[in-house]
A and B are shown apart, each in its own frame.
Chain A
Amino acid sequence: MNSIYQALAKRQGLVQILLLAAAAVFPLLVSNPYVIRLSILSGIFIILSLSLNLLTGFSGQISLGHIAFYGIGAYTAAILSKNFGLNFLLCMVAAIVVTALFGLLLGLPALKLGGYYLAIVTLGFSEIVRLVEINWMELTNGPLGINGIPKPALFGIKLSSPRAYYYMCLLLVVLTIVVIRNILESRIGYALGTIRGDENAAKFMGVNIFRYKIMAFMVSAGIAGLAGAFFAQYVTFIDPTSFASDQSTLVLIMVIFGGIGSLPGSVIGAVVLTLVPELLRSLMEYRMLIYGVVLVFMMLVRPEGLLGKINFKHIRQRCTAEPPDGKEGS
């Protein structure tokens, strides 16, 4: 396995270009709308798990309520585009801004609370958001949901074919990866890493805890809100059941399954765990049972997740420093 990782790490640029090319060509080769739809859903979950990984994996703030941001983003976009006829790009920007503000709100208790106390606060937050979505009839139309959300259009051209949605989703995924990777490789990323490692130590090293924690919450929330806005304009119908707390745990499971603190891991985790229940669909009611078994089995066999303790950057550095004869341990 190690030599595979080394080979991958050494040709990282090439691998990324190939993967991107494959993703770009994919909808041209496959015309089955069901497959395209699944790919788009996977893409949405990739964005969600990447944004949660920024918060939980890289900053150590366990969140059990991430889906609330997704829901707020979806409702913001839906209401703005349906009731006010706003252009879809403006809707997305508005969704990011609104959810980032809610991220700020949730980040405030996180300054004082850690670990499971924070986890229950985030869980409570997402429950409150869901109940507001159900009960505030005038704004959200309650349990009936909002239907007939306008499809995106640019300069009068409707972007509503499955392929158009696919490419839009791909663009958002790439954008998310670039943004998060740039954050992690900057000063902010190192600050977040020290906060995860030891908050007190970080404080004494001069890291502004307040600023970076709030920043992590706002960015993570904003990205999730973006995913929600896209989701709303893609399915054109949203109701509170899409944003229940089991969806939050689903996204957290994707992050852990792929490997906490690993960006490629989150992508793989999201794709695998979106596809597995679909592939098991023929098994009817045994589907979720098998899903649970797979989850427990996976955790027992590989507790760190698929790509958990594999740091491609370190592997690459080691490869370039020494001749890659494969004898070096991981």
Chain B
Amino acid sequence: MFFQQVVNGLTIGSMYALVAIGYTMVFGVLKLVNFSHGSVFMVGAYLTLELSLALGGNFFLAAAMSLVLTGMLGVVIDRAALRRLRVKKADRITALISTLGVGTILDNAVMIGFGSETKAFPNVLQLGRFTIGTTVISWVQVIILALALVLMAIMSVIVYRTQMGCAMRATSQNADAARLMGINVNQVIAFTFFIGSLLASIAGTMYGMYYEAIDPLMGSVISMKTFACVVLGGVGVLPGAMLGGLLIGVVEAVGASYISSGYRDAIAFAILILVLVLRPQGILGKKVADKL
């Protein structure tokens, strides 16, 4: 029973983690909480579903197209709703409200375009399940967790080992100095949005396959959860987002079955608040020196 909940929690947590990585990358580079990210995740799932219907059931091609399109959507969001604010050096909270507006637009555009009802999502990976002791694990769960870990590793390589990653870290530390060093900051930010949205699309597709259903409001729930995951792990730290995602997934699943399913989200948030009070920079976050 306990291990069953841990396995379920890890599966959900992997999806949180993927969305959270996109979140934390954008935060790391722009110091901006991107509230449209949950909606991008939802759009990714819808694109996969609608494209695979349009392509006559070619699910993997649809998923691949959804990745690219969702990634481009991220770039468009940055270009249309955020770049101008950077140029004007507006307050960060203004950019936050702008992303809230983008989220509203995306949610409602999907509702108008595809209907507001819950839609069935095909689970093409009918690979069955296996049992260890009394714990039932489906192969989809294994694939989701493995995919999350692999993507996490790829992201780490991109951020810490490539030239683009170096540019991202430089922009994150000081955008103006990075510009003086010849880094095209807007391009770096566009790339960050592309990668982040692409991961959100993968997470959206996996979410659809796991629950076999999607609806236009699934983004807003995920958005809040992943924000919590990011902060719990330490803002702007990639492994932190992964850890935060898995932790919140497991705590939620275990808490829901042992304490009360009605309080599922409350348990996750209560733990988050406790951790932050004890360790304000998050679990893996570095303590930033106070400007003194």
Q: Tell whether, in the assembled complex, residue B112 and residue A303 are in contact, meaning their CB atoms are under 8 Å apart.
A: no
**Shortest beta-carbon distance, A257 to chain B, in Å?**
8
Pick out which of these stretches binds chain B: A42-50, A109-117, A224-232: A109-117
Pick out which of these stretches binds chain B: A33-41, A127-135, A175-183, A313-321: A127-135
**Shortest beta-carbon distance, A34 to chain B, in Å?**
24
Q: Tell whether, in the assembled complex, residue B277 and residue A109 are in contact, meaning their CB atoms are under 8 Å apart.
A: yes
By a CB distance below 8 angstroms, the chain A residues around B105 are 289, 292-293, 296
Question: Is B291 close to A, CB under 8 A?
Answer: yes
Q: Tell whether, in the assembled complex, residue A285 and residue B111 are in contact, meaning their CB atoms are under 8 Å apart.
A: yes
Q: How far is the CA of A256 from the CA of B99 in the complex (A)?
A: 13
**Shortest beta-carbon distance, A196 to chain B, in Å?**
12
Question: Is B98 close to A, CB under 8 A?
Answer: yes
Task: Specify which of B84, B85, B94, B272 is in contact with A120 (CB 8 Å cutoff).
Answer: B272
- Which residues of A from 231 to 263 have beta carbons under 8 Å from B? 245-246, 249, 252-253, 256-257, 260
By a CB distance below 8 angstroms, the chain A residues around B101 are 292-296, 299
Q: How far is the CA of A303 from the CA of B27 in the complex (A)?
A: 20
**What is the interface of chain A mostly: helix, strand, loop, or mixed?**
helix
By a CB distance below 8 angstroms, the chain B residues around A2 are none
Question: Is B59 close to A, CB under 8 A?
Answer: no
By a CB distance below 8 angstroms, the chain B residues around A285 are 108, 111-112
Pick out which of these stretches binds chain A: B12-20, B153-161, B260-268: B260-268
Q: Tell whether, in the assembled complex, residue B276 and residue A299 are in contact, meaning their CB atoms are under 8 Å apart.
A: no
Q: Tell whether, in the assembled complex, residue B231 and residue A299 are in contact, meaning their CB atoms are under 8 Å apart.
A: no
Question: Is B125 close to A, CB under 8 A?
Answer: no
Q: How far is the CA of A128 from the CA of B282 in the complex (A)?
A: 20
Q: How far is the CA of A18 from the CA of B280 in the complex (A)?
A: 49
**Shortest beta-carbon distance, B153 to chain A, in Å?**
27
Known contacts A116-B231, A260-B93; decide if A300 and B273 are in contact (CB<8 Å): no
The interface on chain A, measured as residues whose beta carbon lies within 8 A of the other chain's beta carbons, has a size of 43
Q: How far is the CA of A291 from the CA of B103 in the complex (A)?
A: 11
By a CB distance below 8 angstroms, the chain B residues around A131 are 262-263, 265-266
As a 0/1 sequence over residues 287 to 327 of chain A, the CB contacts with chain B under 8 angstroms (1 = contact) are 01101111110011001110000000000000000000000
Question: Is B88 close to A, CB under 8 A?
Answer: yes
**Shortest beta-carbon distance, A127 to chain B, in Å?**
5
Q: Tell whether, in the assembled complex, residue B97 and residue A253 are in contact, meaning their CB atoms are under 8 Å apart.
A: yes
**Shortest beta-carbon distance, B31 to chain A, in Å?**
9
By a CB distance below 8 angstroms, the chain B residues around A93 are none
**Shortest beta-carbon distance, A200 to chain B, in Å?**
6
Q: How far is the CA of A286 from the CA of B227 in the complex (A)?
A: 28
Question: Is A125 close to B, CB under 8 A?
Answer: yes
As a 0/1 sequence over residues 83 to 103 of chain B, the CB contacts with chain A under 8 angstroms (1 = contact) are 011001011011101101111
Question: Is A121 close to B, CB under 8 A?
Answer: yes
- Which residues of A from 86 to 144 have beta carbons under 8 Å from B? 109, 112-113, 116-117, 119-121, 123-125, 127-128, 131-132, 134-135
The interface on chain B, measured as residues whose beta carbon lies within 8 A of the other chain's beta carbons, has a size of 49
Q: Tell whether, in the assembled complex, residue B231 and residue A303 are in contact, meaning their CB atoms are under 8 Å apart.
A: no
**Shortest beta-carbon distance, B168 to chain A, in Å?**
19
Q: How far is the CA of A112 from the CA of B281 in the complex (A)?
A: 10
Question: Is B270 close to A, CB under 8 A?
Answer: yes
Q: Tell whether, in the assembled complex, residue A124 and residue B33 are in contact, meaning their CB atoms are under 8 Å apart.
A: no
Q: Tell whether, in the assembled complex, residue A300 and residue B81 are in contact, meaning their CB atoms are under 8 Å apart.
A: yes
Q: How far is the CA of A103 from the CA of B212 in the complex (A)?
A: 41
Question: Is B109 close to A, CB under 8 A?
Answer: yes
Q: Tell whether, in the assembled complex, residue B93 and residue A291 are in contact, meaning their CB atoms are under 8 Å apart.
A: no
Question: Is B123 close to A, CB under 8 A?
Answer: no
By a CB distance below 8 angstroms, the chain A residues around B100 are 249, 253, 295
Question: Is B180 close to A, CB under 8 A?
Answer: no
By a CB distance below 8 angstroms, the chain B residues around A249 are 35, 100
Q: How far is the CA of A124 from the CA of B271 in the complex (A)?
A: 10
Q: Tell whether, in the assembled complex, residue A113 and residue B94 are in contact, meaning their CB atoms are under 8 Å apart.
A: no
Question: Is A62 close to B, CB under 8 A?
Answer: yes
Q: Tell whether, in the assembled complex, residue A124 and residue B272 are in contact, meaning their CB atoms are under 8 Å apart.
A: yes
Known contacts A120-B228, A124-B273; decide if A295 and B263 are in contact (CB<8 Å): no
Q: Tell whether, in the assembled complex, residue B97 and residue A295 are in contact, meaning their CB atoms are under 8 Å apart.
A: yes
Contacts A127-B265, A256-B94, A294-B101 given; 16 further ones with Cβ under 8 A? Answer: A112-B277, A121-B272, A123-B227, A128-B266, A200-B290, A253-B97, A256-B93, A257-B97, A285-B112, A289-B108, A289-B112, A299-B97, A303-B91, A304-B91, A304-B94, A305-B94
| Chain B residues at the A interface, C-beta cutoff of 8 Å | 27, 33, 35, 80-81, 84-85, 88, 90-91, 93-95, 97-98, 100-105, 107-109, 111-112, 220, 224, 227-228, 231, 235, 260, 262-263, 265-266, 269-270, 272-273, 276-277, 280-282, 290-292
| Chain A residues at the B interface, C-beta cutoff of 8 Å | 56, 62, 109, 112-113, 116-117, 119-121, 123-125, 127-128, 131-132, 134-135, 200, 245-246, 249, 252-253, 256-257, 260, 285-286, 288-289, 291-296, 299-300, 303-305
6 A–B pairs (Cβ distance < 8 Å), ordered by A = A200-B291, A292-B105, A293-B105, A299-B101, A300-B84, A305-B94
The 8 closest A-B pairs by CB, nearest first: A295-B101, A303-B90, A124-B269, A292-B104, A292-B105, A296-B101, A135-B262, A289-B108
